[in-house]
Structure 1
Amino acid sequence: MDTEEFQLPRSRMANERLHAMIPGGAHTYAKGDDQWPENLAPVISHGSGAHVWDIDGNRYIEYGSGLRSVSLGHAHPRVLEAVRRELDRGSNFVRPSIVEVEAAERFLATVPTAEMVKFAKNGSDVTTAAVRLARAVTGRPRVAICGDHPFFSVDDWFIGTTPMSAGIPAATTELTVAFPYGDLAATQELLTRYQDEIACLILEPAGHTEPPPGYLAGLRELADRHGCVLIFDEMITGLRWSEAGAQGLYGVVPDLSTFGKALGNGFAVSALAGRRQLMEWGGLRHSGDRVFLLSTTHGAETHSLAAATAVQTTYAEEGITAQLHALGERLAAGVRAAAAGMGVGDHVVVRGRASNLVFATLDENRQPSQQYRTLFLRQLLAGGVLAPSFVVSSALGDADIDRTVDVVAQACAVYRKALDAADPTPWLAGRPVKPVFRRLA
């Protein structure tokens, strides 16, 4: 379909209704309509497998489903069966459910490098709990975050370091310092500069590039030498890198780690896991000061924990991680070939691990461009591909990948025209998409 003919009138009206009642028009800033071309932000009706339908009646092949959370595809039958078994049995009680026992056993069998686990609803719940625990255990105030990683928590200790720091006291932000990924010498210098002040190092163990050889083991040694807690944020790497996350793949064991996203296949569940010696500080079987680790009303909802158990079982029995890598490799090869064939191989660039692909849109100077991203997204949408990234789910089939590559090729043909004109503006039909983290709306 020509992009000039592609319109979403019902979605446009629904977005106006969303903004009238919900700040930002969405419950996650990354889902905001400012992340999409103007007036082309689909509002979803439903999804099945790797496909979603908007309220205008369009069907899309979907990537990055649920901000990477729906890795098995929408309405996965095995997950839904587990959830349905619990729905008629009650979801929340005045005492723990046996489902909590079963979910913890399943998790610790999946991630054997962890000795204890506690569940919550959101990634921010568990990363903040990990930071609080590290501060309690070490008696130190400062948090060292990997400055190359985009997001850790909605809470003040992290958001205060972003351009959206309004409402956060400077005294809080000053307690968070940053280290660069892959640079052990710089991290050593930071730990020395703030000797005996840094409670923890928190990072995603891997991102768009593989860890340099020896890097994670070097961080483990630095944390031990300086007496701080090593925390792996495995929200993205958990299950997608291996069933046991990046720590299982690379063989470096953190003190604490946090999981979410793929864990529930769209159901709300996250996990804080780690060494018993640390985790017990948040329990009842020790003689020291109590740590308010995690205490959430809905953290142990039975249907969400049943979903997590079913997801992990499915990964183990069906080899889902390997499937994600195979699908991603097929997609990456196809997109790169399509871009090269249209003469934009240096401008539409696929990056990342095969199970977690993203794309960069570069201008005529090979610099990241929101304008060219807008052009690219418009063309994908008109071709029936909803892709803020190229993160795959296991529900994708070969036909979906082939269709996506065809649409990408068509988009790259337009991209080439814009590069030749040295101006993508005629193909934008409105304002460019915007970065999530910016100071002004």
Structure 2
Amino acid sequence: MDLPRSRAANERLHRVIPGGAHTYAKGEDQYPEHLAPVISHGRGAHVWDVDGNEYVEYGSGLRSVSLGHAHPRVTEAVRREIERGSNFARPSIVEAEAAERFLENVPTSDMVKFTKNGSDATTAGVRLARAVTGRPLVALCADHAFFSTDDWFIGTTAMAAGIPGEITSLTVRFPYGDLAAAEALLQQHDGQIACLILEAATQQDPPDGYLAGLRDLAHRYGALLVFDEMITGFRFSEHGAQGLFGVTPDLSTFGKALGNGFAVSALAGRREFMELGGLRDPRDRVFLLSTTHGAETHSLAAAMAVMDTYEAEDVTARLHALGARLAAGVREVAASHGVADHVVVRGRDSNLVFGTLDASGAPSQDYRTLFLRQLVTGGVLGPSFVVSAALTDADIDHTVEVVAAACVVYRKALDAGDPSPWLGGRPVKPVFRRKA
């Protein structure tokens, strides 16, 4: 496969954009060498690169495009609203309509404030928790990959350059699923932790009683419980993980699928806390969220259209059904080619990822490179196996056929004891690393 126009476009991107992309997870280093297509356009579950190649796409927009690209209900809502103006000197009535519609969808919250990206929403939640409690420390779940681009989180990663250690020391960690460990952390920092923040679920559902137990622990020690629902919101349930598992946090953040690719995210929570960022509370005010473009009318129109579509078309159920079909197919062909212990599918059916393991069963970037190379050359753009509702059975069947061919190569590499002849260049790299 030759991608001359994509290679040239990647060079253009690197000349003017640090990293060659506006999101590190979309970087050229996340794909096999010379096989990082630059996208021209997309429709439904398919995208086309600037070289004219067509792909079945997974993980669309880092899980944000759950309905498929250019979904007609969403694009029509945006088209109608954008012709009426997008940003004014005072709030648009669309802001009230979108907030009311969101709170219908997430009835566990009393108030909501919209912004443009997930990092701003989670950081606002952390700031609010600190203001409510008067405490400095944030406890985040160590087993969850990403919360924010802001210092309180990024300072805990390998890419901590530019962040003072004094800030990093204000973040502590707890493991997922272990109430005893969480209580030990709360005891160790008694009276200092403002909040516990975590994704309610990722690749596995929470152990029975864990989320309710964590909420009780947080409240017993005077902290707030914050759910990061950027991924779980809508994709696990249209009411979020809090609706699916029946546990209400104090604050929660939503994004990604909320706008089907349009920029909108949300901080939601209990009125007694959210009003600290308002004009009708006598306590010291919190500069909660105040963004010039936070309430662009067309993005809020997109969010309302997304919520209506999820309800009208039972989208969450469709995502689970498509994912189940894909997972079953991948596992079947992996087993038939003797690599079931090395090409593995994990996660809830609506939010699948794949693992690429070496001969000893350890995660391998080399084998991931081999696998991704076979996917891309087979017409599948799949940094994960996260499905969109626009996929068809034919798309799934094609993907499974490509995976089957990849498993043949994978088996050869395992038998040879060295995947390097099949990499085509340098291996793909993890996002969080100290040196480029």
Sort the TM-score into its range (normalised by shorter chain).
over 0.9
User: Is it true that 1:281 corresponds to 2:282 in the alignment?
Assistant: no
Which one-letter code corresponds to 1:273 in the other structure?
A: A
- Structure 1 residue 317: Cα displacement: 1.1
User: Is it true that 1:162 corresponds to 2:157 in the alignment?
Assistant: yes
| Counterpart Cα distance in 1 of 2:13 and 2:235 | 32
Equivalent runs, 1:74-93 vs 2, <5 Å: 74-93=69-88
| Counterpart Cα distance in 2 of 1:184 and 1:87 | 48
1:228 pairs with one of 204, 219, 223 = 223
| Counterpart Cα distance in 2 of 1:98 and 1:338 | 53
| Counterpart Cα distance in 2 of 1:172 and 1:223 | 22
CA RMSD between the two structures? 0.4
- 2:55 corresponds to which residue? 60
The count of corresponding residues between Structure 1 and Structure 2 is: 436
User: Is it true that 1:205 corresponds to 2:182 in the alignment?
Assistant: no
Runs of 4+ in 1 over 2 A off after TM superposition: none
2:416 pairs with one of 410, 421, 425 = 421
| Counterpart Cα distance in 2 of 1:352 and 1:411 | 21
TM-superposition CA deviations, 1:284-318 (whole Å, max 9, x none): 00101010000000000000000000000100111
TM-superposition CA deviations, 1:155-182 (whole Å, max 9, x none): 0000000000000000000000000000
| Counterpart Cα distance in 2 of 1:110 and 1:230 | 20
1:255 pairs with one of 246, 250, 254 = 250
| Counterpart Cα distance in 2 of 1:102 and 1:381 | 42
| Counterpart Cα distance in 2 of 1:383 and 1:286 | 58
2:390 pairs with one of 386, 391, 395 = 395
TM-superposition CA deviations, 1:68-126 (whole Å, max 9, x none): 00000000000001001111100000000010011001100000001100000000010
- 2:139 corresponds to which residue? 144
| Counterpart Cα distance in 2 of 1:316 and 1:192 | 43
DSSP 3-state at the match of 2:235: coil
1:343 pairs with one of 328, 335, 338 = 338
2:43 pairs with one of 38, 41, 48 = 48
2:237 pairs with one of 239, 242, 250 = 242
- 2:301 corresponds to which residue? 306
- Structure 1 residue 429: Cα displacement: 1.1
- 1:116 corresponds to which residue? 111
TM-superposition CA deviations, 1:135-192 (whole Å, max 9, x none): 0000000000000001000000000000000000000000000000000000000000
- Structure 1 residue 7: Cα displacement: 1.4
Which one-letter code corresponds to 1:413 in the other structure?
A: V
- Structure 1 residue 375: Cα displacement: 0.3
- Structure 1 residue 382: Cα displacement: 0.7
| Counterpart Cα distance in 2 of 1:285 and 1:87 | 32
1:358 pairs with one of 335, 353, 368 = 353
Which one-letter code corresponds to 1:138 in the other structure?
A: T
User: Is it true that 1:291 corresponds to 2:286 in the alignment?
Assistant: yes
| Counterpart Cα distance in 2 of 1:389 and 1:88 | 36
TM norm structure 1: 0.99
| Counterpart Cα distance in 2 of 1:423 and 1:9 | 29
- Structure 1 residue 347: Cα displacement: 0.2
| Counterpart Cα distance in 2 of 1:365 and 1:194 | 39
- Structure 1 residue 55: Cα displacement: 0.4
DSSP 3-state at the match of 1:46: strand
2:316 pairs with one of 310, 321, 325 = 321
DSSP 3-state at the match of 2:234: coil
- 2:93 corresponds to which residue? 98
2:365 pairs with one of 345, 370, 375 = 370
| Counterpart Cα distance in 2 of 1:256 and 1:161 | 22
TM norm structure 2: 1.00
- Structure 1 residue 59: Cα displacement: 0.2
- 1:28 corresponds to which residue? 23
Which one-letter code corresponds to 1:399 in the other structure?
A: A
TM-superposition CA deviations, 1:297-345 (whole Å, max 9, x none): 0000000000000000100111000000000000000000011011100
| Counterpart Cα distance in 2 of 1:200 and 1:194 | 12
